[in-house]
Amino acid sequence: MKRILIIDCGSSKIPLIEEIIFEYADYETMPFFEVTQEIADSFDGIIISGAPLLITEEDMEPYLAQASWIKTTNKPVLGICFGHQLIGLCYEAFGARMKDCRSMNEIEQFVDCPLLYRLPDVFDMQEDHCESISIPQEFELVANSDECVNEVMQHETRKIYGVQFHPESSGNYGHIVLENFVELC
C-alpha cells in the first residue's frame, strides 16, 4: 500500500484530504514546519495543503527555507492552493493579489496532465483564494480560468504539480484529481 504524507499548513480542509486519500493509500499528516527532506523522502508521495495566510503579506523566507526539499526530492508532490503557491515561489514565481474567488469555478485544461486524467477539458472546481502566482521556471501551465491564469501547473521533467483550486472540496472531479495523484506515486 502506498504511503502519502499530507503536510498540514493550517488548512481547515485537511480532514477532507485525509478522507479521500484514505480510500487509496495509507497516509500520515504532519505540521508544515516539522517536515524535513528525510521525512518527505520516506513517503511515496507528498501533498501540501492550503493555508490561512497570504503570500503577498507574509514573510515567506521561513516557508521557503523549510520547503527547500521540494527542489531535491524525487517523490511526487502535489500542492493545493497555498501549497501550489509555495511550490511556485520555490521555483521563482511571483505572487499577486486578485479579486476573491470563493466558489465553484470553471477550469479549462489545454495541456495533457496525468493529474487531470479522466476529467473533461472544461470542469468545475471549488476555489478559496485571493492571490495567484505566475508560471514558475521549469513549469508548464496546464489549465486556467477566467479568474486565475495559473490554475494547474506541472514540472517539465519531475512529478511536481500544483492546483490553485481545492480538489478536496470539489466533489467527484476533485476526488478524481486526488486519486490520480496517488496513482502517480
- Annotated catalytic residues are 81, 166, 168
Q: Which 3 state secondary structure label does DSSP give 45?
A: strand
Tally Cβ neighbours within 10 Å of residue 81.
Answer: 25
DSSP state of 128: -
What distance in Å separates the CA atoms of residue 127 and residue 63, rounded to the nearest whole number? 23
72, 37 in Cβ contact below 8 A? yes
What distance in Å separates the CA atoms of residue 71 and residue 66, rounded to the nearest whole number? 11
**DSSP track, 2-18:** -EEEEEESS-TTHHHHH
